[in-house]
Amino acid sequence: MFPLSRREFLKTSLAVGTLSSVGSLPLQASAPKATDKVTLGKSGLQVTRLAFGTGTNNGHVQASLGQQEFSRLIHYAYDHGIRFFETAEAYVTPHMLGEALKPFPRDSYQLMTKVTTDDFISPMRRIDDLRKTSQTEYFDILLLHWQHTADWVSETARWQDGVLEAQQKKIIHTRGASVHGLPALRQMPGNKWLEVAMIRMNHKGTRMDGPTEDDNNNPDHVTEVVGHVKQVKKEGMGVISMKLVGNGAFTRHEDRQAAMRFAFKTAGIDSATVGFKSTQEIDEAIDNMNLALA
């Protein structure tokens, strides 16, 4: 087992000391935290509520740190309780993330990637290539990336079959899709193949779903997006959200806090991925999510 960080050791020691001092007093349930594990619907997979995203500007922001600094940032997140990490085939970060995660036991964190659903490519071969690049035997979650048309469900049937085959071989544990635009999002409710839905979310509709797949601002469509989140959750899907800081547009702290609160309290998402480039951003996201969950 990977050794406890100093912070985790102190938290554990304090908890033991507190329990030993209260005797038979009833225990108080602690408030939900960003680093708690949550279950993604009927998939049964547990992830931390906060995920470390590595795709800011397709990962160029994270890659610009260089491997050493990027690894330090990943280790900082891990030591502070984040055990859910995200990348994608279309990002420039999969190999860097694989390198950064090498010191940690594979079963101590969850890894999510997203595959580009190209034509004339073998899904199993592509998934095997992704595993090699990410230096992992399996992915906890694999999503069909950037589904953005109303007919994506029928158009990706071959990929869905390939992902199911990979699940049977246990090289993928949980399957899903990420969508851009309302035409694609509207296909998620009622979809029996999906276990996880990745849906953009913030209180202002910044870089969120609208009539097309374009990354525009769509404040008038936030209510519909929230309705779809609630529906797929009723159907047993896990919901992971992105764009909680408006793709970096929310420069005011209060907007970043409001976005986090809206995503968890109003929309009711399960987990959120945020792209980080500094330890300060990690600390703030943990604090903002803890505040939103209180």
Q: For residue range 178-190, what is the model confidence (pLDDT) as tens digits? A: 999 999 999 999 9
Task: Assess whether pLDDT exceeds 80 at residue 215.
Answer: yes
Amino acid at 294: A
Residue 28: the pLDDT is 56
The residue-averaged pLDDT of 266-286 equals: 98
Quote the distance between the C-alpha of residue 3 and its chain's center: 25
Residue 29: the pLDDT is 66
pTM here? 0.89
Share of the chain above pLDDT 70, in %: 90
The residue-averaged pLDDT of 84-99 equals: 98
Q: Quickly tell me which residue has 């001092």 as its tokens.
A: 21
Provide the mean pLDDT of the chain. 92
Task: Assess whether pLDDT exceeds 80 at residue 195.
Answer: yes
Task: Assess whether pLDDT exceeds 80 at residue 24.
Answer: no
Confidence of residue 164 (pLDDT cuts 50, 70, 90): very high
**pLDDT per position as a tens digit, 118-128:** 999 999 999 99
Can you list the domains of the chain with their CATH numbers?
36-293 (3.20.20.100)
> By mean pLDDT, which of 99-108, 131-140, 211-220, 254-263 is the weakest?
211-220
The residue-averaged pLDDT of 60-76 equals: 98
Task: Assess whether pLDDT exceeds 50 at residue 25.
Answer: no
Amino acid at 109: Y
**pLDDT per position as a tens digit, 143-156:** 999 999 999 999 99
